[in-house]
Amino acid sequence: MSLKPFFAPQSVAVVGASSVPGKSGHIILKNLVELGFAGEIFPINPKADAILGKRCYPDMAACPAAPELAVLAVPREHVPAMLRQVAEKGTRHAIIATAGFSDTGDELGLDLENQILEIAAANNMRLMGPNSIGTIDTTSRLITSITHNDPLPAGPVSFFGQTGLFASGITRWIYDSQPFGVAKIACLGNKNDVGEIDLLHYLAEDEATGVIGCYLEGVGDGRRFLDAARTAAARKPLVVLKGGASTLGGEAAAGHTGALAGDSEVFAGVLRQAGAVSVSDLSELFDLLAGFAHGPLPNGRNLGAISITGAGCVLSADAAERFGLALPEFDDQTYARMREVCPDWAPLRNPVDIWSSIEKSGVEESYRQIGLAVAQDPSIDMLLMAITLFPGSIFDISSIIREIREAAPEKPVVTVLLGGGCEENRDWTRNAHRAGAATYPSIPRAVQALAAMVEYRDRRRRF
């Protein structure tokens, strides 16, 4: 049965809809109503006539139609009974937001989760959760998160995993900084039914999804996971963060989701064979998603780098070597174009220290002219521009990025921001994103993302 109703149902019931601000059942409804979900919404609450302007129904039976999706946010001991109502109504997809089942490990929780499973199996239902913080779809505008959300920019990035972070703090960050656009997000919770394998197959086929990110702690069936990862990675970039990869982390993962985390190196090797990219932290996960979201995939491993400081050049070169990229010499025409904005005495090489050019031609003209020259150099496959944010060097980069992307559409462009205040960093990230460049807070992180794009392209060629 398709996972589509978890993201784009025609109609949704909120079982346990609440009129009390702060309650999960209130926030879910509020997100749906205020963020523009276009389908029908049925709040289920026996004690209210209407919540947030939406007519309430006392139970599922009273609902005027069978909703395609039900979201349950009621105390754990009521979940089985409510899920039975949902099944009897004819609804076949349910997200259970309530926690306190196999995630806690107590006897009652385990017993309740077994009851839920039996109800779902007997009624041919698909379940997400329990303990799921929810799903997000920027096309249907469905948001089932139990935390307040803001409207996310639409785009190609879909990610999912065994953590509520993805539909709470991370969406807050994406809304604010807009480092990339989002297609779909799913927080899988306890995964008692829908798990990573289902999501991989679904997102591999999903037209709105151009790149997939995944956080997981353990997979039930390694062979099936590998097949799903291979299928997905053959179609679009797949980036996987495996938590619990260490001995200590594996013990913590067993405590968190009951997952047996497995051996980390075996797992990383398996992922690589499947064509996926493996990362070791959340920041790396989102760094790579941002890179892939903007693309294009570079045609080779030749980096051209520009920095306003000599240290930025040196650290770019260190990072290039560390992550396996090359820094070729430019050709004569490129040097000639750069000389137009530089003083005669300026030493020019790759990476380019543009400080002397800035003194002669100003900061914007320097990045424009030198950025274009480097990006159009025939031996260069991708461009990194490191920028130091201080008063006097803060400008809108978007027109420069647009020009460069148009002049060399087959080459990815990334920017690195060093220093500067938070609002300057945020505005710059937004502007760069809209113009088509991923933005990073450190040089090695940017180079790592570019190197992952090279690696993914190389692997896909061999498929």
Q: Which stretch binds a second copy (CB under 8 A): 12-20, 33-41, 220-228, 276-284?
A: 276-284
Are 239 and 275 spatial neighbours (Cβ–Cβ below 8 Å)? Answer: no
Told to check if 215 binds a second copy by CB under 8 A, we report yes
Q: In this chain, which of 53, 223, 423, 462 binds a second copy, going by CB under 8 A?
A: 423
Q: Which stretch binds a second copy (CB under 8 A): 39-47, 53-61, 100-108, 119-127?
A: 100-108
Told to check if 249 binds a second copy by CB under 8 A, we report yes
Told to check if 217 binds a second copy by CB under 8 A, we report yes
Q: Write the CB contacts of 386 (distance below 8 Å, at least 6 apart in sequence).
A: 305, 306, 307, 308, 309, 312, 316, 415, 416, 418, 443, 446
CB 331 → a second copy: shortest distance, Å? 18
Are 270 and 224 spatial neighbours (Cβ–Cβ below 8 Å)? Answer: no
CB-nearer residue toward a second copy: 88 or 321: 321
Q: Which stretch binds a second copy (CB under 8 A): 170-178, 294-302, 365-373, 406-414?
A: 170-178
Told to check if 331 binds a second copy by CB under 8 A, we report no
Q: Closest by alpha carbon to 69, among 42, 92, 51, 87?
A: 92
As given in the structure block, the two tokens for residue 52 are 């947030």
CA gap 179, 171 in Å, rounded: 11
Told to check if 80 binds a second copy by CB under 8 A, we report no
Told to check if 139 binds a second copy by CB under 8 A, we report no
CB 420 → a second copy: shortest distance, Å? 5
Verify cis geometry, omega within 30 degrees of 0, for the bond prior to 351: yes
Are 386 and 307 spatial neighbours (Cβ–Cβ below 8 Å)? Answer: yes
Q: Closest by alpha carbon to 325, among 377, 274, 381, 272?
A: 381
Q: In this chain, which of 36, 58, 90, 421 binds a second copy, going by CB under 8 A?
A: 421
Question: SS3 of 294, please?
Answer: helix
Site residues (CB under 8 A) for a second copy, limited to 424-463: 424-426, 441-444
Told to check if 52 binds a second copy by CB under 8 A, we report no
Told to check if 246 binds a second copy by CB under 8 A, we report yes
Strands 352-353 vs 413-418: parallel, antiparallel or unpaired: unpaired
Are 385 and 416 spatial neighbours (Cβ–Cβ below 8 Å)? Answer: yes
Distance (Å) of CA 145 to CA 29, 139, 149 = 9, 16, 7
Q: In this chain, which of 49, 88, 176, 410 binds a second copy, going by CB under 8 A?
A: 176
Site residues (CB under 8 A) for a second copy, limited to 279-308: 280-283
Total residues at the site for a second copy (CB under 8 A)? 91
CB 281 → a second copy: shortest distance, Å? 5
Q: Which amino acid is at 86?
A: V
CB-nearer residue toward a second copy: 203 or 327: 327
Told to check if 324 binds a second copy by CB under 8 A, we report no
Are 403 and 389 spatial neighbours (Cβ–Cβ below 8 Å)? Answer: no
Site residues (CB under 8 A) for a second copy, limited to 337-396: 343-347, 349, 351, 353, 355-356, 359, 388-393
CB 64 → a second copy: shortest distance, Å? 32
